[in-house]
Structure 1
Amino acid sequence: MKSLKYLFFLPILILLLGCPSVDDGNSSIYIKNNSENDILFVQTGDRYTECTEDSIPNKNTGRVIEANKTVYDNLVLTHCTTYLYLLSMDTVNKYSWDDIRKNYRYMKKYIINNKSDLKKIDYTITYP
C-alpha cells in the first residue's frame, strides 16, 4: 500500500519540480513600422549589452524593421533599465555610429523598467 502511494505522488512531484517559480525576465514585444521607410530597433540593458546610463549602445546591435512590417522580438529584462530606440535607416546610413550616440540621433525612445511598463504599451511599439 505504501508503494502505491509513492507511485501516485511521484508523477505529481516531478510535474511540480518542472514548474518555474521565479520570473526569468523574458518577455515578448511587437514592433510595428507603419511608415514608408525602414527603421532600426535597438535596445540596451539586455543580456548582450552592459547596463548603461541613458545611452545608445557602443556598437550597432539593432534589428532592421522594413517599411510597413511588424516584427516579433524577445526582450530580456534584467536588473538594468531597458532602453528601446527607433532610428531612421537614413540616419544610420548617413552618420557614424559614434555620431549617432553622441548626438542622440534617434526618432523615438522607450524606457522599460519591468513587465508592467510593457503591459502599459500592450507589449507593442508602433512607429510612427
Structure 2
Amino acid sequence: MRYFVLILIILVGCEHVAMDYSYPLSVKNNSDHSINLYLNDNENFVSIYPDTIISNFSERISQQILSKETRYIAGGSANWESIFRVSVPSDTLSIFVIHYDSLNKYSWDEIRNNYEVLKRFDFSLQDLEHINYLIEYPASSSMSEIKQFPKYEE
C-alpha cells in the first residue's frame, strides 16, 4: 500500500509538471548595436493603446539586448490570450525599441518628450502568434504586415 501511494504521488506530480507551460516573448536583435524594449502600459500593467505616447513607467524597460543576441523579455505561465484579455483592452500592445545609448544619454522625460525610439511595434495577439512570439529588430519580412512606426521597409 505504501508503494501504491508513493507511485500515485509521483504520477500526480509528473502530470502537474507536464501541465506547467511557459509562454515566452523574445526579441532577436539583428542590428549592430545594443537595444532595449519597452512595453507601453499604465501603472496597472494595462496597455494604453491607441495612445502611443510613452508612459511614465521607465521600469518597464527590458534588459539590454546585445547586437546579434536573442533574449526572453516577457511572458511566463499565463498564456498571451489571457494577458490580452486582462491587460490589453484595445487588442493592441505597443512595444518600443530604444537604442541602448539613448538610455544612457537622455533622461526618461527627454526620451518620452522627444520620442527617442528606433521603432514602435503595435501587436495584436494574432500578430504575436504569427511571428511565434519572436520580435526581430530590425523587422524581418515575416513582420512586414505588423503595424509599426516608422513603417516597414525592405
Q: Which has the higher strand share?
A: 1
1:1-128 pair list within 5 angstroms: 27-45=23-41, 49-52=45-48, 53-60=51-58, 61-63=60-62, 64-75=64-75, 76-77=83-84, 78-80=87-89, 81-113=92-124, 115-128=125-138
Consecutive unaligned residues of structure 1, counting only runs of 5 or more, are: 1-14, 20-25
Q: How many residues align?
A: 104
User: Which SS does the other structure have where 1:106 is aligned?
Assistant: coil
CA drift of 1:49 comes to: 3.4
RMSD: 2.6
- Identity among equivalent positions (%) equals 29
Q: Which has the higher contact order (CA 8 A, sep 6+)?
A: 1
Point out the structure with max Rg over C-alpha.
1
TM-score by length of 2: 0.57
Kindly tell me: are residues 47 and 125 of structure 1, through their superposed partners in 2, closer, same or farther at Cα, counting changes over 3 Å? farther
TM-score by length of 1: 0.67
CA drift of 1:45 comes to: 3.2
CA drift of 1:35 comes to: 2.0
Q: Which has the higher helix share?
A: 2
Q: Distance in 2 between the 1:38 and 1:56 partners?
A: 20
